[in-house]
Structure 1
Amino acid sequence: MADDDNAIAGFTMLAHGTFHTYELSIPIFIVIWLDVFDVSAAVLGTVIGLGYGLIGVGAVPSGILADRFGSRTLIVASVVGMAGGFFLLSLAPNVYVLALAIMLWGMAASIYHPAGLSLISRCATERGTVFAYHGVGGNVGTALGPLVAALLLVFLDWQWVVRLLALPAIPVVLFGSRISFDEAIEPSSTDGGNDSFDLRSVLSQSRLLFTAGFTLAFVVVLLYGTYYRGLLTFLPDMIADLPLFEPISLYGRTAEPAQYVYTGLLMVGILGQYTGGRVTDHVRTEYALLAALAALSALAFVFLPSSTLGVAPFLVVCALLGFTLYATAPIYQVVIAERADETVHGLSYGFTYLGMFGIGSAGAALAGALLTYFDAPVLLGVLGAIAAAAALLCVVLLRRA
């Protein structure tokens, strides 16, 4: 890759990894928080859903700022804010402060994806390849963050584990302040070249952005986000309820094998992210997205039944689920880039992550409610139906392309 591509890939890989370290470590603590704060899965799912939802709510203004002023400063500010939110989380004495800390984290986290993805889509020469590396960086954080948290919980109280997880922000900030790359930002043609920040120009850009093709892609991402959040938020808890993975005693403390199955599933996602990004350089993206969503639907339906066949078949299904879940991300990111003008890529990803993390965060509350009032098979059946609906919309997207 070119020097700028290498710099952009390295910077965004580190920042993306930090984002997902925080995002996917939260489910590791859910089993503990249910007991410590004495709340139901429905209540805790709603609390966590609020924090995750703010990632989407803040994505649109973050995307606008990325289009106007560039991405580097925004990415650094996002990482610092996420670390601060996690440190506050470690001080939570009750579920109300817990909610406040997660919401503060979500506000800071909302900045990253519109800024990082618009930087890649606007400035990278080999866009699909840089998206692939960006995805790998995210999944390194996705896998290592929860794994480190699970290992540390064997020896430390959860508050200290959360504090230690705030430390990865330091090297990201240092690296981001030292590297150099060309990030030229040109005024959008949709507002007559006026570089002022005003609501009229944003509305004008938004109207031009939401073509039929982009709108369909937006709804597909929204449904995928609901599936993603609904599955991952309580996944360690669902695995822990299986007879195959009962808690064990280790060094005088209780260890949860389910947490390591969960982190292993996420680790396989590293290969999925890379593969999904490279596929977009060689295969029509709509076909790739359709295949991924259809597979996610099928895997939701067979997830629990596979556990009755033994540990090995269940772990194979977990690996396939982790691979496909994260292979989908770089594919839809390129689908979005193909349907948005370069001058509004930041805004396009802002709306995308409003759907993915904002509206999609309802998946956490949905999962908590279904687990509280029904059971895990009902939750997975609903998620499978959601992925199937997204796959059907991909068929429509193909016909309109």
Structure 2
Amino acid sequence: MSADSLERAFRGERGAVLATITRRLDGDLALAEDVVQDAFVAAAVEWDRRGVPDRPGAWLTTTAWRKALDRLRHQRVVDAHAAAAGETVTWDEIDWEQSSLEDDQLRMLFACCHPALSPEARMALTLRSVAGLTVPEIARAFISTEPAMERRLTRARNKVSQGRIPFRVPSDDLLPERLAGVLRVVYLIFNEGHAATRGDLRAEGVRLARLLARLMPDTAEALGLLALLLLTDARTPARLRGDELVALAEQDRALWDGALIAEGVAVLERALRLPHPGAYTIQAAIAALHDQAPSFAATDWSQIAGLYGELARIDASPVVTINRAVAVGFADGPAAGLELLDAVEGLERYVSLHAARAELLGRLGDAAGADAAYARAIALSAHEHERAALIRRRTGRSPTR
């Protein structure tokens, strides 16, 4: 057996296996994590001797469940498991119906994104338990040490298990609010990868959005989020030139991924046909206008500004105001954009605020004001690619080809 075989099984099967075992253990995520890890250790030995089974996911689930039963017999800590501890489990008894597997993964997503957990814990737990990233990978994503991330994950798992966070999809009356939290976590995972140009996190964000859209195909915002991520990710091949980010106006649109754009537009059209499209669907519509424009100059800025106005109405935030100001600056002139920016409060340490102000001031001919705004944005930027792009724009250098 090659190491690649086990790695593929880990990436492809771990989330589903963990979700199924967690359900069978009545939501005991900490124990489920342990026995699934034990199952992969057993696979490394057994598959090397006998080869990879035809159904690696079923083998891993059965092995993990047997190890869970062994621990329950030994520990005798939960009376409710006494009957289960005497079961003889075969592969056929593990519920591997596709609908059941998908339900388990959906339950896992809602458990990991429960509001009782901090936002950081939700993101980390989702990356570990649903996406299957390793602790070192998650630590790098959060710019943290591995021991610190392991402690954070342990606390989160224990809170899910000991706090009896329900391993289920919320009832209809709670679903809209809870779904918003799940969508937010997936969006933040993607956005962190997008901002830091980390392909692994971008890919996991898209994968999780696809999972949600498949599990909730009649929910406009689940489809809207997937469309937004696809349409944004489609521009990735043109976002970097050397060591700096390339502004949308300077990107080579021939490098954009046409297949992702087509898929994103198709998903967006389905979302728009459903009731209650929200903020993610509107953002996807904005992204589609950018992606479908033949050039930056030909972008329909008036329609984009109008969509940002609608977004501000349903999901008002300073960040939305900044993006709206940029669009208005192109649709109605830089002075109109600056008027909107002047109303933004509480984001003095937000790089995009100062970068947007610099661009608008530069277009108005205020070179000194633009230079000061660029200097502030550069000082605040935490990403080297972003900082390099801001420095170039400040000095007025032409982009290198």
TM over 0.5: no
The structure with the largest alpha-carbon Rg is 2
The higher relative CO (CA closer than 8 Å, separation ≥ 6) is in 1
Q: TM-score scaled to structure 2, two decimals? A: 0.30
